């Protein structure tokens, strides 16, 4: 049974649903062996072979597995070698948004009665960009509004201010990252900044995504704003705390999805 389920999709067996449930496993057992099991028995059997119900990671169907493999095995190692020759730093960049009225996670309540969580009546939102290094360095900035090429350049200027080493910056394929104005700005720096683009639809390759996940699990999402408190101040304080904890920053690079990252 383990081989049937692990790494497989129910649709490969003719079912019209893409997630494993006890009912679908039970139907598969009945098809293969002619034995009808209760849902409890199916659950016990799955647990016995080491399978547990888990929330799956989502991947866009446009994702190109070959491009991802090429990035992990060829492209990134080449970036790391080039950075080593240039005595440059490698950072991974990403943006995220925060809302004061967003509630993340779950809470306990009476069965059949959805719990109510108090949130600020006045909506507040803020965006943030950050760059993270496997050596434990973390840079961040907050901003308002949507990101475009001009704002991206402004944020890059802030990140590059005072830096002595060249920077190889890995970003995703957001259109704002690829405008002509951005390319012109990078060219002006004459090698001090190089942009590299992750494969499309592969956010799991970016360790900075794990930073945002951590921030939203442990910070604003877990404690509603108090009266008079500003979201931007809360987010800035939380990100500043991450920047003061290089061991925490390095821990994001130990996640299996980014195990390919090495400065060689």
Same domain, 25 and 90: no
Whether 195 and 88 map to the same domain: the answer is yes
What pLDDT, in 10s, does the model give residues 232-245?
999 999 999 999 99
Does the pLDDT value for residue 94 go beyond 70?
A: yes
Q: What is the pLDDT averaged over residues 106-125?
A: 59
Q: Are 137 and 246 in contact (CB under 8 A)?
A: yes
> CB atoms < 10 A from the CB of 49, how many?
12
Residue pair 103/91 in contact by the 8 Å Cβ criterion: no
Q: Is residue 41 located within the same domain as residue 85? A: no
Whether 15 and 94 map to the same domain: the answer is: no
- Rounded distance, CA 145 to CA 240, Å? 21
Q: How confident is the model at residue 199 (pLDDT cuts 50, 70, 90)?
A: very high
Whether 110 has a pLDDT exceeding 60, the answer reads: no
Per-residue pLDDT tens over the stretch 11-26: 677 776 556 788 888 8
Assessment of whether the complete model's pTM goes beyond 0.85: no
Domain-located, residue 90: yes
In this predicted structure, the answer to whether residue 103 has a pLDDT above a threshold of 60 is: no
Comparison of pLDDT for 103 and 96, the residue scoring more: 96
132 and 7, same structural domain? no
Domain with 18 in it: 2-48
Tell me whether strands 193-197 and 167-171 are parallel, antiparallel or unpaired.
parallel
Supply the pLDDT for residue 19.
66
- What is the predicted pLDDT for the residue at 57? 47
Same domain? For 128 and 172 the reply is yes
The answer to whether 105 touches 222, Cβ cutoff 8 Å, is yes
Question: Based on the domain organization, do 98 and 18 belong to the same domain?
Answer: no
Structural domain count, the chain: 2
Query: 159 and 139 in contact (C-beta within 8 Å)?
Result: yes
> Is 6 found in the same domain as 130?
no
175 & 127 share domain: yes
In this predicted structure, what is the pLDDT of residue 17? 57
The token pair that represents 225 in the structure block: 């704003």
Tell me, yes or no, whether 195 lies in a domain: yes
Q: What letter would DSSP give residue 98?
A: E
């Amino acid at each position: 049974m383990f081989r049937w389920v692990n790494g497989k999709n129910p649709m490969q067996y003719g079912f019209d649903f893409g997630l494993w449930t006890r009912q679908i496993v039970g139907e598969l057992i009945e098809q293969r062996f002619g034995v009808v099991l209760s849902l409890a028995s199916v659950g016990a059997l799955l647990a016995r072979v080491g399978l547990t119900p888990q929330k799956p990671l989502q991947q866009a169907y446009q994702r190109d597995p070959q491009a991802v493999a090429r990035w992990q095995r060829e492209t990134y190692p080449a970036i790391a070698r080039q950075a080593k020759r240039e005595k440059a730093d490698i950072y991974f960049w990403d943006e995220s948004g925060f809302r004061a009225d967003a509630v993340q996670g779950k809470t306990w309540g009476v069965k059949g009665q959805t719990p109510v969580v108090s949130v600020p009546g006045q909506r507040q939102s803020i965006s943030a960009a950050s760059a993270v290094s496997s050596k434990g360095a973390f840079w961040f900035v907050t901003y308002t509004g949507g990101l475009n090429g001009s704002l991206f350049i402004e944020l890059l200027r802030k990140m590059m201010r005072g830096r002595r080493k060249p920077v190889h910056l890995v970003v995703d394929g957001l259109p704002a990252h690829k405008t002509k104005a951005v390319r012109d700005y990078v060219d002006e720096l004459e090698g001090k900044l190089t942009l590299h683009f992750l494969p499309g639809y592969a956010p799991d390759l970016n360790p900075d995504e794990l930073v945002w996940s951590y921030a939203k699990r442990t910070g604003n999402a877990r404690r509603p704003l108090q009266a008079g408190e500003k979201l931007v101040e809360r987010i800035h304080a939380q990100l500043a705390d991450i920047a003061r904890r290089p061991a925490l920053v390095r821990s994001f690079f130990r996640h299996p999805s980014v195990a390919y990252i090495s400065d060689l």
